[in-house]
Chain A
Amino acid sequence: MHELNIAMALVEQIREFMVKENAHELISATVAVGALSGVEADALAFCFPLAIEGTPMQGAQLHLEPVPVRLRCRSCEAKSQPEESHMLHCVVCGSGQVEIVTGHDLILQSLEVS
């Protein structure tokens, strides 16, 4: 399980942004979890409270927003969303020459602070 490492990297990143923005209290953080990001949302949700325990962020909420895989076909240009995230073929023409537009990343979207 690498989600604890990721939760700790996330907390460090949040801390840096809070200093930069002169924010005092973290109320919540919103993270978009791509279906192919390699990060299990449940495990990250479990690890986040552990990563902020004993820090000034303790008690903050973590909102996780699942991001499905969306593909753009290099053959027919169609944009599509496969039924399962491991079916990386164009839904329209079946070509395997696809580009993953969303769903492969883990993005810190926003912080709610005071």
Chain B
Amino acid sequence: MCQDCGCDSGPPLHSHPHAHGTPHDHPHDHGHDHTHDHTHDHTHDHTHERTILLETRVMAKNAALAEQNRQWLAARRIRAINLISSPGAGKTLLLERTLELLRDRLPCAVLVGDVQTDHDARRLQGKGARVCQIETRTSCHLDARQVGQRLPELFPVGGPERLLIIENVGNLVCPAAFDLGEDLKIALLSVTEGEDKPVKYPTLFHQAPVVVITKVDLMPHLDWKMERCRAAILQVRPDARIFELSATTGVGMTAWIEFLEQWVA
């Protein structure tokens, strides 16, 4: 029975006349439950199947870790690039020359991913940047967890580094599916590959606002059409910024280095 009005446990809606503004409450509830102890006889014999609707990203975990990396780096005013190309496109040589040219101008650290060996990390030692190698073993790409684990050792507290260069495992497919927490994906393509690679691997080239065409010193020996390649890049990424260079001869390196300095600044 309701203690306010004496109504008989009442319907949910009943009213008590009172002046407007009178503080009052209705502390009783009319809750009930369906607990009971008798069994029901289910005559059907199927199991209780149900569908759970989710609509969640499969890569959500990697994406969350990538976002952590991004915030960790941003809190230290460090910008990060993720270099992606097929094996042999010239990532490591470009990095060697880049580190030499950035020395004393832009302090940076390098994280190198390879399926096996630390050959690339050794090539990059002694050029003024801290270098860390991740051997991915069976895996064909770096993921955000691997990168996050290495950040504290790459960037000791109070260090001068402003740029993290991640050299991903040589592969045009898999690394494109894994956000590492970088600010910029850069795709490399050498003139010894097909000019139409950007349209063959649109997932990566679409994600890369910057494309570097390497080994241009070899062009006289090849039937490589720069314009065809540029058109293929722009087809999947119409606003792509394209650099043409040779780390061997140094052609085009100045524009590349200036771009990195301005981008970090």
Identify the A interface with B (CB < 8 A). Answer: 1-2, 5-6, 9-10, 12-13, 17, 21, 23, 25, 27, 31, 36-39, 85-89, 96-98, 100, 105-114
Number of CB contacts from chain A to chain B under 8 A = 106
Q: How far is the CA of A93 from the CA of B77 in the complex (A)?
A: 41
Q: How far is the CB of A98 from chain B (nearest CB, A)?
A: 8
Q: Give 6 nearest A-B pairs by CB, closest first.
A: A96-B238, A38-B177, A86-B202, A2-B174, A38-B203, A114-B47
Q: Decide if A86 touches B59 in the complex (CB within 8 Å).
A: no
Within 209-241 of B, Cβ neighbours of A (below 8 Å) are at 234-239
Q: Binary interface profile of B, 25-66, with partner A (CB < 8 Å = 1, else 0)?
A: 000000000000000000000011111111111111110000
Q: A residues within 8 A CB of B91?
A: none
Q: How far is the CA of A6 from the CA of B57 in the complex (A)?
A: 11
Q: How far is the CA of A108 from the CA of B53 in the complex (A)?
A: 9
Q: B residues within 8 A CB of A96?
A: 234, 238-239
Q: How far is the CA of A112 from the CA of B219 in the complex (A)?
A: 56
Known: A2-B174, A37-B177, A113-B49. A88 touches B58 (CB 8 A): no
Closest residue of chain A to B178 (Cβ to Cβ) is A2
| Contacts A9-B62, A112-B51, A113-B49 supplied; 11 other A-B pairs, CB < 8 Å | A2-B140, A2-B141, A2-B177, A6-B177, A13-B56, A23-B50, A38-B173, A89-B235, A97-B239, A108-B58, A109-B54
Q: A residues within 8 A CB of B60?
A: 13
Q: Decide if A106 touches B57 in the complex (CB within 8 Å).
A: yes
Indicate if B176 sits at the interface (CB-CB under 8 A).
yes
Q: Decide if A5 touches B59 in the complex (CB within 8 Å).
A: no
Q: How far is the CA of A108 from the CA of B149 in the complex (A)?
A: 27
Q: Decide if B238 touches A97 in the complex (CB within 8 Å).
A: yes
Q: Decide if B235 touches A87 in the complex (CB within 8 Å).
A: yes
Known: A86-B236, A87-B235, A88-B238. A9 touches B61 (CB 8 A): yes
Q: How far is the CB of A40 from chain B (nearest CB, A)?
A: 8
Q: Decide if B238 touches A10 in the complex (CB within 8 Å).
A: no
Q: Decide if B62 touches A109 in the complex (CB within 8 Å).
A: no
Indicate if B71 sits at the interface (CB-CB under 8 A).
no
Closest residue of chain B to A14 (Cβ to Cβ) is B54
Q: How far is the CB of B55 from chain A (nearest CB, A)?
A: 6
Q: Which of A37, A86, A106, A114 has its CB near the most chain B CB atoms (within 10 A)?
A: A86
| Residue from the list B49, B54, B236 in contact with A114, Cβ < 8 A | B49
Q: Decide if B51 touches A9 in the complex (CB within 8 Å).
A: no
Q: How far is the CA of A25 from the CA of B49 in the complex (A)?
A: 9
Q: Decide if A36 touches B59 in the complex (CB within 8 Å).
A: no
Closest residue of chain A to B59 (Cβ to Cβ) is A106
Q: B residues within 8 A CB of A87?
A: 235
Q: Decide if A110 touches B54 in the complex (CB within 8 Å).
A: yes
